[in-house]
């Protein structure tokens, strides 16, 4: 799966501490294989984020993304539950 990211995602990622950045990189590696999506708790979002999806990095942090095509996604945000607002 091809993964792109927005400038906002890049800024949010860089503001995370290095341990959390490593965790995000690890989860993105798992995310590339769709078999792992259940383990990552990939789910559709509703409301103002309708059309986007999210998955868990850990209990607190999430990544918000959208499908461009079946094999391409763009990462929009990474952070705690505030990314949903």
Residue 37 belongs to a domain with what CATH number?
3.30.2310.20
pLDDT score of 84: 84
Q: How far is 27 from 10, CA to CA, in rounded Å?
A: 16
CA dihedral over 72, 29, 56, 23, signed as positive or negative? negative
pLDDT score of 47: 93
In tens, the pLDDT along 13-29 reads 999 999 999 999 999 99
Pairing, β 2-5 against β 72-79 = parallel
pLDDT score of 81: 86
Q: How many domains does the chain have?
A: 1
Q: How far is 70 from 82, CA to CA, in rounded Å?
A: 27
Q: Under a CB-based contact definition with an 8 Å cutoff, are residues 64 and 73 in contact?
A: no
Structural domain of 37: 2-84
Q: How far is 2 from 15, CA to CA, in rounded Å?
A: 24
The structure's pTM equals 0.94
């Amino acid at each position: 799966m091809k993964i792109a990211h927005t400038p906002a995602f890049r800024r949010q990622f860089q503001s995370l501490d290095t341990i959390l950045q490593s965790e995000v990189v690890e989860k993105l590696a798992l995310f590339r294989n769709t078999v792992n999506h259940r383990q990552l708790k990939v789910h559709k979002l509703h409301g103002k984020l309708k059309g986007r999806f999210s998955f868990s990095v850990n209990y607190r942090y999430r990544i918000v993304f959208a499908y461009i095509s079946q094999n391409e996604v763009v990462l929009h945000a990474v952070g705690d539950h505030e990314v949903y607002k």
